[in-house]
Amino acid sequence: MCQFFGSRLLPALFFLSGANAWSAGPFFNVLDYGAHNDGSAPATEAIRSAIQAAKSAGGGTVYVPAGTYVSGPIELVSNLVLHIDAGATLRFPATRLPFTRGREQGIECITPVPLIGGRNLENVTITGRGVLTTDNAEWLKLMSRQRASAADPGSAFGTAWEHLLQLLELRKPIPEEEYQKAAPELRPSFVRTMDSKNVLIEGIHFVGSSMWTIHLLYSDNVVVRDVIIETYPGVHTDGIGVDSSRNVRISNCYIDTGDDGFAIIRSEHVNVSNCSISSRTSQCSAYFIETGSGTLHSTTVAPMPSGSARPVMLTTRSNCERRRWRMLLGNWSRRSISFSAMARTVSGATAMAGVRPALAATRASWP
């Protein structure tokens, strides 16, 4: 079942600049482990078996060839390349998932496991030109939320989560059962790395998301590049969340979301460049940056392409509704964040007509 990469596939593998490069190693095709590439049966166990085989070999590449696959959550391991090839679509149906410790919207809590991800990972790559997809509407049917009304902005989740937030505001010890009550209301991140380092996410096309699309939590030395994220009009499907992480480089990404394009929370040494972002509701921004107690350092927001649907917009949690469309320096200083020239603001229709085909042409030239 174990093969090695031929020269045709080697150019598709990239490594982190400045990180310890992880060799592609042995090659594990999920079809050899029983996956059906016509979507006729779940591929969860086949993918798990291929990953475990790579782990037993000391690392390697798990290869998903062209076709349609249906899967449950995928737990990654260290020294792994997960390669979703061009023409491959990996679909994740909405379902109840096991729980694990994590963080949701800045709150340490019990969360569902991510659709793809893991904890304490090192030297991990998710790459390829395939599609990862899930249906936000189906997740909302399964985990209903407190919807907005005239006087209430609503909630990402349900009443138990809202009750937990109210208890946290009292700044008193909270019984574990309150976290357990809230957990079933939470939707999983699509991709989440936690307590991990040397991570590369490259070339993947996300269509829809259960919650945040890429959630980098307590992670160090991460590169996200050449990624397409299309989650509009999904609820709370932020594009990329950089959450208490450092040394993160994001570039050449296209993000079309009904929520914040980027959420950068208490992180340091984050560099974002050459990304096209469309945040298409009045309560969302291209960049949502929460500094907390001034713990966001050395972050560079580079110029956006002229076709971007919004200019660079920054907001803090305390004023996100009232002053969402202003550029707010707040507690930031220019020593902490460097702002380049603002991009031209154009209509969403113009941006989508101009940016998306240009990125598609770029993708067509990738090896």
Per-residue pLDDT of the chain (367 residues; tens, 9 = 90+): 444 333 233 333 333 443 333 556 899 999 999 999 999 999 999 999 999 999 999 999 999 999 999 999 999 999 999 999 999 999 999 999 999 999 998 889 999 999 999 999 999 999 999 999 999 999 999 987 765 544 444 467 888 988 898 899 888 899 999 999 999 999 999 999 999 999 999 999 999 999 999 999 999 999 999 999 999 888 889 999 999 999 999 988 988 887 888 888 888 888 888 888 777 664 555 666 665 323 333 444 444 444 444 444 444 443 333 233 233 333 333 333 443 333 322 222 222 223 333 333 333 333 3
Return residue ranges of the chain for CATH 2.160.20.10.
2-137+189-364
**Long-range contacts, stretch 331-337, CB < 8 angstroms, 24+ apart:** 331/291, 331/294, 332/289, 332/291, 332/294, 332/296, 336/294, 336/296, 336/297, 336/298, 336/299, 337/289, 337/296, 337/299, 337/300, 337/301
| pLDDT for position 322 | 29
User: Is 91 in contact with 70 (CB distance < 8 Å)?
Assistant: yes
The predicted-structure confidence for 88-109, as pLDDT tens digits, reads as follows 999 999 999 999 999 998 889 9
Show Cβ contacts of residue 357 under 8 Å, excluding neighbours closer than 6 positions. none
* AA identity, residue 248: V
Residue 363: exposure state from Cβ atoms within 10 A (0-12, 13-18, ≥19):
middle
* AA identity, residue 254: Y
CATH (one of 2.60.40.1260, 2.40.10.10, 1.10.10.10, 2.160.20.10) for 2-137+189-364: 2.160.20.10
| CA 255 – CA 224 distance, rounded (Å) | 12
The predicted-structure confidence for 174-223, as pLDDT tens digits, reads as follows 999 999 999 999 999 999 999 999 999 999 999 999 999 999 999 999 99
